[in-house]
Structures are given as C-alpha cells and as structure tokens.
Amino acid sequence: MSCEETQEQVSLLIDAELEEPHQVALFRHLEGCCECRLFFDSMLRFSKAAKRDLEEIRLVADDILPLHGPLPVSVRAAGDGANSLPMHPSGLTGRRSHRRASEDAVGALPDRRSGWGWKRWTGLLAGGWRMPAPVAIGLALVLLVAGALVGTRISTIAGGGGPMGRDGRVVKPTVVVVCSLPEVQVLGSASRL
C-alpha cells in the first residue's frame, strides 16, 4: 500500500469510516513508515485540539449570543422560560455581552430584524443618523463648537461668571456637547458592524 493510500485510510480511520479488514494493513504500513506516522499523529493532535477549541468557543457563544433568537416579542414572552427573564429596553430578553448591550443602547444598524422589535427603539437614531465615521466626527466637531458657543452665550447672560459648581469653581457649560459627542461617534462606527 502506498503512502498516499495509507494516509487516505488514516483519514477514514479518524472518522471511524474504515472497515476492520483494512485496518490491519494500515497499521502494518504505519509501523514501518515514519512519514505516515507523522501524518497520523498530526491529525490526532488536530482532532484533540479541535475538541478543546469547540468547547471553548461554545462557552464564549453562551455569553455572546442572545438567549432568544430573532423571535417576535410575543413569542419570547410566552416561550420556554422567557417570561421570567428581564426585558431589555430594546425588546430583547436575556443575557447579552456588554458590547452588544451598549450597541442596543446607542442604536445599531436597522435591518430586517427590526421588523420583529430587534433593536427597534433605537431604530430612529440609527436609521436617521446612519453615516460614515469621517462625517460623524465632522458633525461631532461642529456640535462641539456650537456647544461651546452656546455655553459662552449662557455664561454671558448669566453674568459673565458662568454657572458655579458646588465647590464654587466655574463649571464650563459643555454638558450638551458631552452628551452629543459619544452618540455620534458610536453611530459612526456602528455602520461598520
């Protein structure tokens, strides 16, 4: 039996598809052929590592994937145990990763899923403000300048000293900008998700 045939049979053996009569000849070849033994050993190591890989990914998957799939809200609420789960404001139930939860909060891309309440409440923001990152950053800067101007205007109206903090220091009225900036930036990046 050639090395090519042997390795083909090794592949079948690993998949439990090699009939017993062939196994005798296979192992006889393996005893005397270093190259085929290397192949066999490699594939066994691969299989073993793949099993570990599988287990690790499945654990991560539990943490990442929504507890319930793209189901209508009514079905999730009535489904197997779903009614005991806290409802996310987006209409989704169950555990979600921090990243995904924050996506919901700031608005991910509207897609076909939104018809079933998927991230629906953020749809307005996401749908109306979907833009490439450079445009988003530009808009953020415009808002920053506008916020600063408004702040200066408020300061002037308030008597030039500006609003005072508890400790008596002047608090720059940039709160409007601070709120707007992350929203626009995240929306910009959401277009790549």
Size of the site for other proteins (CB under 8 A): 45
Residue 33 or 77: which CB sits closer to Zn ion?
Answer: 33
Point out which span in 8-16, 127-135, 156-164, 181-189 binds other proteins (CB under 8 A): 8-16
Decide if 34 contacts 6 (C-beta within 8 A). Answer: no
Only one residue has tokens 């296979």, namely: 26
By the rule CB under 8 A, 53 interacts with other proteins: yes
By the rule CB under 8 A, 124 interacts with other proteins: no
Q: Which does 113 bind (CB under 5 to 8 A by kind): Zn ion, other proteins, none?
A: other proteins
By the rule CB under 8 A, 33 interacts with other proteins: no
Residue numbers of the site for Zn ion (CB under 5 A)? 3, 6, 33, 36
DSSP states of the chain as a string? --HHHHHHHHHHHHTT---HHHHHHHHHHHHH-HHHHHHHHHHHHHHHHHHHHHHHHHHHHHHHS-SS-S--HHHHHHSTTGGGSPBPTTS-BS---HHHHHHHHH-----GGGGGTTTGGGHHHHHHH---HHHHHHHHHHHHHHHHHHHHHHHHHTTSS--B-TTSPBPP--HHHHHHHHHHHHHHHHTT-
Residue 43 or 131: which CB sits closer to other proteins?
Answer: 43
Give the x/- contact pattern for other proteins in 74-113, rule: CB under 8 A.
-xx-xxx-x-----------------x-----------xx
Which residues are near other proteins by CB under 8 A?
7-8, 11-12, 14-15, 17, 38-39, 41-43, 45-50, 52-54, 56-58, 60-62, 64-66, 68-72, 75-76, 78-80, 82, 100, 112-113, 193
